[in-house]
Amino acid sequence: MNKLKLFAFPYAGASATAYYKWKKHLSDEIDFKPIELAGRGFRSRDSLYRTFDEAVHDVYEQVEGLIDDGPYAFFGHSMGSQLSFELAYMLRAHGRPEPSVMFLSGRWAPHILRPDLVNPSTPHEQLIERLMELGGTPPELFENPALANTFIPILKADFYAMESYVYQGGRELLTAAFNVMTGVQDWDVNKRDLAEWGQHTTGPFSLHKFKGGHFYINDSFEAVIQHINRSLLSTVQ
């Protein structure tokens, strides 16, 4: 039997390496595929995205050829949630099957207009302070000028690309099961805004809370992995 594929999309500034440790903890019945974005990791020589549409087209080119007739799922955290949402629509527009399950993590519903978590035009020192507030970035990264000078331009480019995002209303709803996830101490992502994701699918909707802040996926790693395993294994049974 073919394994269920789980594609994972990074958050702003991150590389696919943020998910590498997941593989050995996910069920053997899950074929885990973290997607690398342009300008980082083994794609460090590729140009960073200028617009959100560029990012969606890029991940489409990576994912489209890996989808077969079996069920598959998306996991996206923060920016990755929005990427996976638009990717599902692009796949459908090209006649490809939609994901069976979408884990939408740490991001408000796409139709909600509000300032993003990070303002990319913020002065350097204030930007670092904001990143430290959010967590998820090792403090020692900012103590190493070479690492910081590599990371911050990627992060800023991602958030500038996010600023170009325009929500398209009036589209036929998706059909995936929406499994929305959040940290209970993530004060930047309103829980009511997370519940609004339910307006975008005809499939089942559920909202799950974990200990931790915006990067609860690190703070509650074991609970997150157990939740994903349970959710996906029930899909393939």
Q: Domain range spanning residue 113?
A: 4-236
Specify the pLDDT at position 140.
77
Q: Total domain count for the chain?
A: 1
Specify the pLDDT at position 1.
56
Specify the pLDDT at position 236.
60
Specify the pLDDT at position 143.
81
Q: Which residues are catalytic?
A: 78
* Chain mean position to CA 166: 17
Q: What is the dihedral of CA 161, 210, 195, 187, to 10 degrees?
A: -60
CA nearest neighbour of 50 among 162, 154, 161, 167: 161
Identify the CATH number of the domain in which residue 221 sits: 3.40.50.1820
Specify the pLDDT at position 135.
82
Reading the chain (237 residues) residue by residue, the pLDDT tens digits are: 578 999 999 999 999 999 999 999 999 999 999 999 999 999 999 999 999 999 999 999 999 999 988 899 999 999 999 999 999 999 999 999 999 999 999 999 999 998 888 998 988 888 888 888 888 787 777 788 888 888 999 999 999 999 999 999 999 999 999 999 999 999 889 889 999 999 999 999 999 999 999 999 999 999 999 999 999 988 765
| Count of all residues that appear for the chain in the document | 237
| Helices 79-93 and 145-163, packing angle to 10 deg | 50
The pTM for the full model equals 0.94
Specify the pLDDT at position 237.
55
Torsion angles phi and psi, residue 63, rounded to 5: -90, -35
Torsion angles phi and psi, residue 148, rounded to 5: -65, -40
Helices vs strands, H then E, count in the chain: 8, 6
**DSSP-based three-state secondary structure for 128:** helix
